[in-house]
Structure 1
Amino acid sequence: MPRRKRTRQMEKDGIPALETIEDHAVKEEGEKNKPEKDDKKGQERGEHVVKMVVASHWTLALLGGCISALCLGWMRHPGSFAAESEKENRMVLERLEMQVSFLDKQLSSFLITDSGTGPLWVQGSQGARCRVLFARAMRRANEVQDMAMRRSSGLEVKLLMARTDLRRLEDLIMTHRLVLVRHGEASWGAENKFCSWVDKPLTQKGENEARECGQLLAAQKLWPGVVFTSVLGRATNTARIILGEMKKVIGKAMPPILTSWRLNERHYGSLIGVNRSELAAEHGEEKVRWWRRAYDARPPPIPRTHLHFSEIYEDPRYADVEPSQLPVAESLRDVVSRLKPYWAETMASALQKSSITMVVAHGNSIRALLKLIEEIEDDVIVGVSIPTATPLLLTLTSDLKPINSHHFLGDPKAIQDAIRRMDEQGKAEPAQ
C-alpha cells in the first residue's frame, strides 16, 4: 500500500501516523525557504528522531541477546538458575529446624518425669502452648516438603530428620491420658463377699475413698473431658463423688458420664453373695484363688433359683440388651471379649477426641481394659491388683498406643498396703 494511502488509513482507524526519517527529510525539503530559526529547529528534531531510532535498534538487539543467553544458559546449566530458589529453600528448612529444636527445649522443661519411667504428660496451658508450636512446625514442614524434596537430596534428608523429630514430639504433645479408677468400697466388699452384678451401695469408707481420689486428681489437674462407668451404682456414685471434689478445686462444668453394662464387674455365677473366706475354708484357698484370678477360670453358672437371679436379670437397665448377651458366669477372658467391642466402637473414639478421659469401673473390667490397651500377657494380667478408689494413669499416643506402663497415683506405701489386703481376701479365716 502506498505510503500516503497507508497514513490516511491509519488516521481513519484512529491510529496516529508515525513520522519516519524519510517523512522528515521531505518536510525539510519543503521548508527550505522558511526562516533560519525554524530551519535549525527542524534539523534538531530530525537528529533526535534518528538517535531514537538507532537507540531502539540497539535496545532490541541487546534484549534479544540477553534472551538468547538466558535460554542457552538454562539449557547448559539449569541448576545455576535454581541456586536462588535453593538458597530460599535452605533458609526455610533452617527455620523449620530451629522451630523443632525450640519445641524440643520447651517440652524438656514442661514434661513431668516419674522416678525414671519417662515423660508422662504436658500440663495445662503449657501443653496448649506446645501444641501451638507443634502445629506451626508442622505447617513449616509442609511448606518445605514440595520444594526441598524436589531440589536436593541433602534437603530431603534434613527434612526427613525434621519430620522424624516432629513425629517423636507429636507422641509427647498430642497425648491422651486415661485415668482408670476402681469404685470405692461397697457394702459387700466390706463383708468380703462376691458382689459381681448385684448392685450394692458404697460404704461410708467407700465414699471417703472417692473424695480423696477426687482431691488427688484435682491436684494433678486431671479434669476429664468424658467419663465412662458401668451401670452399677457403686461405680456411677464413685464417679460423681470424684467429679464433685474436683469441681470444688477446678470449677469446670461437669463432663458427660456415659454408662455401659459392658463395663460391669465380672459375673461370678453361683459364687455371687458368697463370703470368700468361708468359700476358702470349704474348697481350699487355691481353688478360690483359681476362681478369682485364673484367666480362663469360669465359676459355676448362676442358677435360676439363686437368691439374686431376678434382681440381676429383671433389672430395667438391661432391657435393651439381648438376653443371650447377658452372662451367667464369666472368666477374665470373657470380660475382655465382652468389653472389646465397646472399647473399639465407643471408648477409643472418645479418647481420641479428649486429652483426658476417666473410666470408673471394677477390678476385672479395669484389668480387661489394661489387657486390651497394653496387650498384657494372660499370665501377667491375672497378677495385676486394682485397689479401690486408687487412680491408675495411662498415657497414650495419638493412635492410643501406651507411651509407658500404667502406674498408680498416690502414696506408694498406702497403695501396697491396699494391694496386700486385697490378696488376703481369699484366705480362710484362722480357727477361733
Structure 2
Amino acid sequence: MKTISMVLIRHGESTFNQKNLFCGWHDAELSENGIRDASKISSAALMEHKMAFDVAYTSALKRAQDTLKIILKEIGCPDLPTKCDWRLNERHYGNLIGFNKRQMADKYGEEQVQIWRRSFDVLPPPITSDNPYYECIRSNPSFRDIPPEQFPLSESLKTTMGRVIPYWEQEILPQIHAGKRVLIVAHGTIARALAKHIENISDENIKSVNIPNSIPCVYEFDLEKKNLVGKIKYLADENFLNKQMEKTASIGN
C-alpha cells in the first residue's frame, strides 16, 4: 500500500491567545512564545520525524502566515510553493472579538461561552460597528478579494465548514491524491473543521476535540483507494500533548 502524509498545524500562540482574548478575523501578531514555539515545537517535530513537503497552504491572517514562514525556514525550504487563502481563516467570532474569554464567562456564564467556543452550529453574536476591531477587520487589505456577500459577521463551526470543506475538496485534496506532500498551517477552528470532515466526527463529538497550538498533526492517505489510513497522529510526547489539549479546552483566566 502506497501512502502519502498530510500535516496540519495550528499557528503558534498569538498576542490575543496570550491575553486570552477572542481573536477570530482580527489580524493579531504572533507572541514571543508563538515565534519560539513555531521553531522549537513545530519545526523541531517535523525535522525529528523527517517530514518533507511539496506545497503549503495557509490563511490570509498574519499569525498563520508567519508561523508557516518560520517553519519553512527552519526545515530548510523557505521557497516552498505556498498558497494563502481567506477560506482558511479562523472562524469569525462576531462581537466576541477583542473580549477576554474569562470576562465573557463571568458575564454570560461558562456554559454559554463554551457553547459559543465548542458547539457545532451555535453562532456568537454578530459583530457590530461599535466593536473596537470592526473597522480594522473590514478594511484589512488581505480581505479585499472576499465577495461582499461572503464576508461574515459571525461564524459557527458549521458555517466555517461551509467555506473550508469546498476549498479542501477542490484545491487541497486533489494535490494529496496526486502524491503531493501537503503542509497546512492555519487555525484552531480550521483544524477542527478539517478533522471533523476527514475523520467523520459527529456533531456531538466534535465538541470535545481540542487541537493545540504548534503541535503537528499527521494524516496518512492511501494513494490507490484515496481514503484515510488509521487515525490522526500528533508529533509530540503524550503528556505534553494532553497538557496542551487541556489548555486549549479551558476558558482560561
TM, length-normalised to structure 1: 0.57
The residue correspondences of 1:12-411 to structure 2 (distance < 5 A) are: 169=1, 173=2, 175-212=3-40, 213-247=42-76, 252=77, 254-398=79-223, 399-411=225-237
What is the deviation of 1:293? 0.4
Distance 1:294 1:184 in 2: 23
How many residue pairs end up in the alignment? 251
What is the deviation of 1:236? 0.5
Distance 1:354 1:199 in 2: 33
- Letter paired with 1:238: T
Contact 2:72 2:78 in 1 (8 A): no
Higher relative CO (Cα under 8 Å, sequence separation at least 6) belongs to 2
Distance 2:186 2:215 in 1: 12
What is the deviation of 1:407? 2.0
Q: Deviations over 1:344-394 (max 9, x none)?
A: 211112222344211000000111111222221111122111111000010
Distance 1:410 1:270 in 2: 35
- Letter paired with 2:79: M
**SS at 1:406's partner residue?**
strand
What is the deviation of 1:400? 3.7
What is the deviation of 1:305? 2.2
- Letter paired with 1:211: S
Assess, with a 3 A threshold, how the Cα gap between structure 1 residues 239 and 253 changes in structure 2: closer, same or farther. closer
Ranges of 4+ aligned residues in structure 1 off by more than 4 Å: none
Alignment RMSD (CA, Å): 1.3
Q: Quick check: which one's strand share is greater?
A: 2
Contact 1:374 1:401 in 2 (8 A): no
What is the deviation of 1:397? 1.4
- Letter paired with 1:305: D
Unaligned ranges ≥5, structure 2? none
- Letter paired with 1:190: Q
1:423 — aligned with what?
A: 249
What is the deviation of 1:253? 6.3
Distance 1:182 1:351 in 2: 19
